Amino acid sequence: MTTYSSVKFMTSAAEAHQLAPDLGREVAFAGRSNSGKSTAINVITQRAGLARVSRTPGRTQLINFFELAPERRLVDLPGYGYAKVPERVRLHWLALMEHYFNVRESLVGLMLIVDSRRGLGAQDVVMLEWILSRGRFAHVLLTKADKLNQRDSQRVLKETAAAGRDAAVSAQLFSAHERVGIDAAREVMDGWLNGP
């Protein structure tokens, strides 16, 4: 299994022309603001502070590219759904992300970060529709699973898996705090990045 020990920051993009070269393979991470996306990235890559964790939701306003290995990248997409972001900024983010999903040939899969206490929201579904319309893979990380009891965590996992079954979207429980699901998430990424 990949350890991502050599992961390093490549570039940030605020506009379409600033995207990293479209070569090799990349996995994108997306999620609502405050879903635990930055924490998930840091835990999966075993690099504290790689993605900035903030107490103020909505801080990731750029598309950030990280090199995991030559021509293998992790892409941190802007968080969405936070009310305090100005409308014009929100619309710019959405246009940039839609462009990203539409044009990236190297994009092989989306890790969708969803707070397990909230479940899939309307904007999460839009992200899934964008990635699936390109014939790519999607995997839902139900974060903060340690905040739920066993019954509730299994219920949200079952509901999420059922919602994505027709579209072949996989899902799992994940807790950075309790170190739950980290290896499983890495296995999914490895399969995408090293696949045929």
Q: What does the pLDDT look like over 159-183, one tens digit per residue?
A: 998 887 777 799 999 999 999 999 9
pLDDT at 78: 85
Distance from C-alpha of 128 to C-alpha of 50, rounded to nearest angstrom? 25
DSSP state of 42: H
Amino acid at residue number 87? E
Structural contact between residues 139 and 112, judged by C-beta atoms closer than 8 angstroms: yes
Residues 42, 192, 35, 165: what is their CA dihedral angle, to the nearest 10 degrees?
-160
Residue 31 has pLDDT above 60, yes or no: yes
Any residues with CB less than 8 A from the CB of 137 and at least 6 apart, and which? 108, 109, 110, 131, 168, 170, 192
Residue 117 has pLDDT above 90, yes or no: yes
> For 35-62, what is the mean pLDDT?
75
DSSP state of 15: S
pLDDT at 60: 55
Residue 194 has pLDDT above 80, yes or no: yes
Distance from C-alpha of 10 to C-alpha of 12, rounded to nearest angstrom? 7
pTM: 0.91
> For 95-119, what is the mean pLDDT?
94
pLDDT at 191: 94
